[in-house]
C-alpha cells in the first residue's frame, strides 16, 4: 500500500459554494482579533481567494459600542467614540476587492423577545442610525443593502413589527437596496436567553407553521432569508432546509443558507468547525434546492489569518472541495 | 550573575518515555484541526522525532460519525459517509513511519453505566464493525491490536461484559493481536455523566478493591491497561499508580501510564498542560514501577503543529527532558 | 475614496502608558505557555520594545507549586520541587533588560475571606518564605520590592491584618523596598468565590467608604495600589478610578491602574481584550489623574509571542497608540 493510493476520490460533486461572510467586528460572543487596516486588507484578499464576494457587517452598533463615530448613538445611547471608522474602512475595502457590502442595523441589546419590549422607540432609534449611515456612506458604490440584526428563531411579533417598519423605511430611502435576515431555528443546539442549550429540536411542522406566518408578514420587505444552520442536528437539516426554501419561494424571497463555520458540539464552543460537518451541511442545503451559502464567519473560523490556527485547515479543506487553488500556506498575517 | 549561570542542571534522571499517543479524529470533546494527509504526514514525523512508535485510534466510529466508510454503520447506525478513509490513511502512515497501529472499537454513545444498558446488541454491533475492519485492513502489517473504547473508572458490569465478549472474539479472529484499555480513576478531577467534576478522590483501598475484581474478570482478554493519570491529584498519584501496576502484574497484564498532556485545572479545560505537571506525573509512574507511557494526545497538546501554540513549548520541554534533539522551531505546518 | 483616505487621525493624545506587567508563572486560571529561558528572554525583549520596565511576579508559590526550590515550602507545605528556578531566571533577565523586579508573596490557597481564616500562622509561613527569598536573592540589584498576593475587593479584616504584619516585616528587613497591592473592585464582572459573576456593581459611595477604611489602615505599609480595572463596567470606570486616586493621595500612596489586557465579556473569558476596551480604560485612568499603568498580563495577552495569536494585534494597536516603532511582525518565538 502506498500513501498515494490513499487519496480518496473527491466524494463531492457539490456545487454549493460559500459566497458571502459576516464581519463580526462588534461582537457579544466572539473574541476580538485586534486587526488594523493592513490585516483586514489581507483578509479581504483571502476571502476573494476563497470565492467570497459579499460581506455583511453583522451590526453597526451594539449597546454602547459603535463601528463608526455615530452622532446619533453618542447622543442617544451614550455610545463610546470608536478609535476607527470601520464602516468606511469596510466600504473602501469592499470597493477595492469588488465586494458587495451589506450594513447591519443597530442592536440596542434590549430583549425583543420579552412582552414589554417597546418596538416603536426601538425602531425610531434604529431608523435614525440608518439615516445617519445613508448620509455618511450612501453614495459608496459597494453599499448594496442591509442586514436586519435582530435574530429570531420563530414567532416573535415585536421583531417582525421591527422588520416591517424599518424595512419599509429603508426601501423608501434607497430604492433597490436589498434586505437580508439570518434567523436561527429552534434546534437542540440553540441557546435560550440564559445561554443554556435547548437540547430538543422543534417538530418540523411547528417550525413550518411559525415561519409560514412570519414570512407572510415580511414578504416584500425582506429579500433574502439565510437561516443559521448550526442549531439543528445535522441529520435533521435536510428536512428543515427544504421547508425554509419552499416557504421562501412561496413568499418571493431568496433562501440562502448561513452555514456556520464554528462548532457547537464541543465543551469550548465557538472554535472552527470540523470540515466534515461543514461539508455535510452544505450538501444538505444543496439537496434542499438552496443555491447560495454565506457563513458566520470567515475571519475567525475559516481564514488563514484567524487567531485559531485550525481555521487554516478548514480553509484548505474548503478550497480543495470548491476546486480553488488557494492554500493557507500562501497567506501570512505577520 | 550571568544568564548562563541560570541554566539548571537537569533535575531529571527519569527514564520514563512517552512512546505512544492516541489519535483523536472522532472526538466528542476536542476541537478538530482539519488536517489532510500532508499535515498528518508531517505530524507523524514529529511523533517519531519525539520517540513515539505506537498510535492508537481512540475509536473507529462515534454515534453517526465514522473514520472509514463502514457499510455496517451506514446500514445499522445511519452513519454519515466520511469525506476520507482515515483508517487507511493512518495505517499507511504507520507503515511509512514504522509505527504500531491500534484500532479503537465503535462507540455508539449509549450510556453503558446505566442499568438498562443492553450489552448483547451493543457488542453484536461492535463485533460486526470489527469484522468489517479486519476484512478491509487486517492484512496491513502495521495493524497490531485493538483499543476497547469504553472508558470506565471503576465497577461497571456492563462494560466488563463487553470487554470479555468482544475481546474473546477479536483474539479468536486474529491470534496474537494485542488488546488495550485506558480507564479513568474516580479522582477529584474526573467528570461525572453531567460533565461536573467529582471534587473528591476515592479512597485508595476502594480503588484497589474495585480494580482487583475487574482485572480478575478481564485477565487473559486485556493485554495492556493504561490508566488515565489526570483525574487524581498529582500528590496522590504515586499511591494510585502503585496499586494499578501491582494489580496488573498480579493478573498478567502490562501496566502503562496514559499521561495526559492537557490540563484539567483551568477555567478553560483541554489546553496543553504545564510541563511541570506532566514531568511530575511521569516521575510518579516511574516511581510506581511502570516502564512505559502513552499520552492523550500528541497532535493537539504536544505537537509543534498543534492549533494550540503552547503545545510547541511542551514539545520542546519534553524533548529536552528526554534528551532528544528535536525542537519545535524545526517543524512548520504551513 | 481611496484606502489611504481611511486612515483615521489618531484619536488619542493620551499620555497614559503601560510600564509594567505581571508575570503569571504560577497560575490558577491562565493556561501555561511552557516557555524556557530562551523564550522568556525573547519576551522580555518584546516587553522593553513596548515600553515596559517593571515586572511583578504574581506569587512565588501557590498551594504546592513553587517558582523556586523553597526549602520552607517543601518542609511546611509539601511543595513540589520545580524543574527550574524561575525567581533566579526572572531576576537575571530583569538585570539584563534593565527591569525592576517585584516579588509576589506565597499564596496558600486558603480562603482569607472566610471567618475562620487563621491570619497568624498564614502570615508566619509567608514571612518565612519571604526571608528565604531575601537570603537567596536579596542582593540582586533588580530586586526592587514586593507584591502582596492576597487580592481583595473591599472590606477584609484578615487580609488587611496580613498586609500590615507582613509589610512591616518586609520594610524592616529591606529598608527602602517598595510594596504593591492590586485589589479588585466589587464590579458586575468580578467573580465570587464560586466563580460566578456578581452581575451588579457596588455603589461608588460604598466602594469609597470601604477603601477609605482599608487605606487608612495600610498607609505607611503599602506604597503602590493598582486596582484591577476589569470588574467595573467601562462607563463607570471614571467614577471609580477617581475615587481610588483621591483616596491613595489622601493616605500617601501611589495609585496606578492595573489595566487588564484580557477580556471579561465573552463566553470564553481570559482571551486577549479588544483594543478599543483597553484604550477606553487607559483614557479613563488618565482622566482620573492616574499617571502610570501596569497590566495583567503582557506575555499571554499582549505579547507577539503569546499562545493567543490575537495578542499580536493588541501589541500592534498598543504600540501605534503609544507612538512606539515595534510591530508584532518583527518578533517570532520559533
Measuring CA to CA, which residue among B129, B113, B117 is closest to residue B57?
A: B129
pLDDT of residue C268: 73
What is the average pLDDT across C124-140?
A: 97
Say if A240 falls within a structural domain. yes
Q: Is the pLDDT of residue C106 over 80?
A: yes
Q: Do B269 and A267 touch (CB under 8 A)?
A: yes
Which chain B residue is nearest to residue C196, measuring alpha carbons? B267
pLDDT at C9 over 60: no
pLDDT at C309 > cutoff 50? yes
What is the average pLDDT value for chain C, to the nearest integer?
93
Q: Average per-residue pLDDT in chain B?
A: 93
CB-closest option in B3, B266, B272 to C34: B272
CB proximity C85 to B under 8 Å? yes
pLDDT-derived band at C257 (thresholds 50, 70, 90) equals: very high
The verdict on residue A173 lying in a domain is yes
A-C Cβ pairs (cutoff 8 Å, strict): 87
Average pLDDT over residues C180-184: 98
The grid coordinates listed for B193 are 455523566
Residues 212 to 241 of A: which have CB under 8 A from any B CB? 234-235
The tens digit of pLDDT for each residue in A162-203 reads 999 999 999 999 999 999 999 999 999 998 878 789 999 999
Instruction: For residues A75 and A132, give the distance between their C-alpha atoms in angstroms, rounded to a whole number.
Output: 13
CB contact under 8 A, B334 and A312: yes
Q: What percent of chain C lies above the pLDDT cut of 90?
A: 86
Residue C4 placed within a domain: no
This prediction's pTM:
0.94
Q: According to DSSP H, which parts of B101-231 are helical? A: 119-137, 157-173, 204-218
- Chains near A, with 3+ CB pairs < 8 A? B, C
- Mean pLDDT for all residues in chain A: 93
For residue A90, give how far its alpha carbon lies from the nearest alpha carbon of chain C (Å).
10
The answer to whether A195 contacts chain B (CB < 8 Å) is no
B45 touches chain A (CB under 8 A): no
* pLDDT at residue A258, rounded to an integer: 98
SS3 A75: helix
Q: Give the pLDDT confidence of B256-274 residue by residue, as tens digits.
A: 999 999 999 887 778 999 9
**pLDDT for the residue A266:** 80
- Is the pLDDT at B98 greater than 90, yes or no? yes
Distance CA C238, CA C232 (A): 10
Residue B128 pLDDT exceeds 90: yes
Assess whether pLDDT exceeds 70 at residue C1.
no
Residue B306 with chain A: CB contacts under 8 Å:
309
B274, part of any domain: yes
At residue C287, the pLDDT reads 96
**For chain C, what is the domain count?**
1
Q: What is the pLDDT of residues B191-240, one digit of tens each?
A: 887 878 999 999 999 999 999 999 999 999 999 999 999 999 999 999 99
pLDDT of amino acid A279: 97
Tell me the H-state helices in chain C. Answer: 37-49, 71-76, 86-97, 119-137, 157-173, 204-218, 237-250, 275-287, 298-301, 310-322
Q: Is the pLDDT of residue C2 over 50?
A: no
Which residue is closest to A263 within chain B, CA to CA? B31
Q: What is the pLDDT averaged over residues A70-89?
A: 97
Please answer whether residues C283 and C14 qualify as being in contact, where contact means their C-beta atoms are separated by less than 8 angstroms: yes
Q: Which of residues 87-126 of C touch B (CB under 8 A)?
A: 88-89, 91-93, 95-96
Distance from CA of A289 to the nearest CA of C (A): 35
Q: For residues B77-100, give the mean pLDDT.
A: 97
C-alpha cell at position A176: 433597490
Given this model, what pLDDT does residue C195 score? Answer: 79
pLDDT above 70: percentage of residues in chain B: 96
Torsion of Cα atoms, A73 then A75 then A77 then A81, to 10° = 60
Confidence at residue C294, expressed as pLDDT on a 0 to 100 scale: 98
Give mean pLDDT, residues C283-307. Answer: 97
Mean pLDDT of A35-51: 98
* pLDDT class of A1 with cuts at 50, 70, 90: very low
User: How is residue C231 written as a grid cell?
Assistant: 470588574
Split at pLDDT 50, 70, 90, the class of C72 is very high
Q: Which of C83, C99, C137, C269 to mutate to test the interface with B (most CBs of B within 10 A)?
A: C83
- Longest Cα separation, chain B: 70
Whether the CB of C304 is below 8 Å from some CB of chain A: the reply is: yes
- Note whether A197 contacts B: Cβ–Cβ < 8 A: no
Among the partner-chain residues B80, B269, B334, the one whose CB lies closest to the CB of A280 is B80
Q: What is the pLDDT of residue B7?
A: 40
Is residue C321 predicted with pLDDT exceeding 80? yes
**Facing residue for C35 by CB, picked from B266, B271, B313:** B313
How far from C77 is each of A28, A265, A284, A290, C87, CA to CA, in Å? 43, 41, 59, 64, 19
d(CA B245, CA A74): 68
Q: By CA distance, what is A332's nearest residue in C?
A: C329
Q: Decide if A270 touches C, using CB distance below 8 A.
A: yes
Instruction: Give contacts of B6 with chain C, Cβ < 8 Å.
Output: 37, 85, 88-89, 92
- pLDDT of C6 over the 80 cut: no
By Cβ distance, the residue of C78, C85, C93 closest to B235 is: C78
pLDDT of amino acid C191:
87
Is residue B272, in this structure, part of any structural domain at all?
yes
Residues A90-127: b if buried by 16+ CB within 10 A, e if exposed: bbbbbbebebbbbbbbbbbebebbeeebebeebbebbb
Share of chain C above pLDDT 70, in %: 96
**DSSP for residue B3:** G
- Contact call for B276 and C28, based on CB within 8 A: no
What residues in C contact B279, CB-CB < 8 Å?
83
Q: What value does the mean pLDDT take over residues A85-106?
A: 98
Q: Which domain holds residue A232?
A: 15-26+34-330
Task: Check residues C104 and B270 and name the one with the higher pLDDT.
Answer: C104
Tell me how far apart the alpha carbons of residues B294 and B21 are, in angstroms, rounded to a whole number.
5
pLDDT band, residue C8 (cuts 50/70/90):
very low
- B80–A266 C-beta distance less than 8 A: no
Residue C22 has pLDDT above 90, yes or no: yes
Report yes or no on A190 lying in a domain. yes
Residue A279 lies in a domain: yes
Distance from CA of A244 to the nearest CA of C (A): 30
Helix (H, G, I), strand (E, B) or coil at B48: helix
Grid coordinates representing C270 are 481570559
Dist. CA A129–CA A123, nearest whole Å:
10
pLDDT at A229: 98
B7 to chain C, minimum CA–CA distance in Å?
Answer: 8
Residue A289 banded pLDDT, cuts 50, 70, 90: very high
Q: How confident is the model at residue A113 (pLDDT cuts 50, 70, 90)?
A: confident
> Is residue A1 one of the residues assigned to a domain?
no
Contact between A80 and C276 under an 8 Å Cβ cutoff? The reply is: yes
Closest Cβ–Cβ partner in C1, C316, C328 for A92: C1
CA distances (Å), origin A21, targets A65, A191, A237, A258, A305: 21, 22, 21, 9, 15
The CATH number linked to A116 is 3.20.20.80
Question: How close C211 gets to chain B, by Cα (Å)?
Answer: 30
Contacts of B317 in chain C (CB under 8 A): 34, 36
Alpha carbon C13 to its chain's center = 25
Amino acid at each position: 500500500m502506498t500513501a498515494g493510493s490513499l487519496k480518496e476520490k473527491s466524494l463531492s460533486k457539490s456545487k454549493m459554494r460559500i459566497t458571502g461572510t459576516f464581519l463580526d467586528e462588534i461582537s457579544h460572543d466572539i473574541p476580538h482579533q485586534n486587526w488594523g487596516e493592513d490585516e483586514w486588507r489581507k483578509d479581504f484578499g483571502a476571502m476573494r481567494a476563497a470565492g467570497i464576494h459579499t460581506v455583511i457587517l453583522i451590526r453597526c452598533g451594539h449597546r454602547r459600542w459603535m463601528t463608526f463615530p455615530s452622532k446619533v448613538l453618542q447622543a442617544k445611547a451614550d455610545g463610546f467614540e470608536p478609535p476607527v471608522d470601520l464602516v468606511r474602512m469596510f466600504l473602501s475595502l469592499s470597493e477595492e476587492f469588488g465586494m458587495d457590502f451589506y450594513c447591519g442595523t443597530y442592536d440596542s441589546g434590549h430583549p425583543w423577545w420579552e412582552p414589554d419590549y417597546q418596538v416603536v422607540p426601538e425602531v425610531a432609534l434604529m431608523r435614525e442610525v440608518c439615516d445617519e449611515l445613508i448620509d455618511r456612506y450612501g453614495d459608496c458604490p459597494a453599499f448594496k443593502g442591509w442586514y436586519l440584526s435582530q435574530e429570531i428563531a420563530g414567532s416573535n411579533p415585536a421583531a417582525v413589527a421591527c422588520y416591517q417598519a424599518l424595512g419599509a423605511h429603508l426601501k423608501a430611502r434607497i430604492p433597490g437596496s436589498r434586505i437580508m435576515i439570518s434567523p436561527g431555528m429552534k434546534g437542540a443546539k440553540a441557546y435560550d436567553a440564559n445561554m443554556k442549550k435547548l437540547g430538543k429540536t422543534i417538530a418540523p411542522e411547528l417550525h413550518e407553521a411559525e415561519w409560514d406566518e412570519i414570512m407572510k408578514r415580511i414578504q416584500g420587505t425582506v429579500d433574502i432569508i439565510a437561516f443559521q444552520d448550526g442549531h439543528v442536528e445535522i441529520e435533521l437539516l435536510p428536512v428543515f432546509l427544504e421547508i425554509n426554501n419552499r416557504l421562501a419561494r412561496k413568499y418571493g424571497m431568496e433562501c440562502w443558507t448561513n452555514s456556520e463555520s464554528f462548532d457547537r458540539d464541543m465543551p469550548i464552543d465557538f472554535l472552527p468547525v470540523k470540515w466534515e460537518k461543514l461539508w455535510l451541511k452544505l450538501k444538505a442545503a444543496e439537496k434542499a434546492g438552496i443555491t447560495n451559502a454565506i457563513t458566520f464567519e470567515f475571519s475567525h473560523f475559516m481564514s488563514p489569518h484567524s487567531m485559531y490556527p485550525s481555521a487554516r485547515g478548514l480553509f484548505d479543506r474548503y478550497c480543495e472541495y470548491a476546486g480553488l487553488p488557494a492554500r493557507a500556506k500562501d497567506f501570512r498575517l505577520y
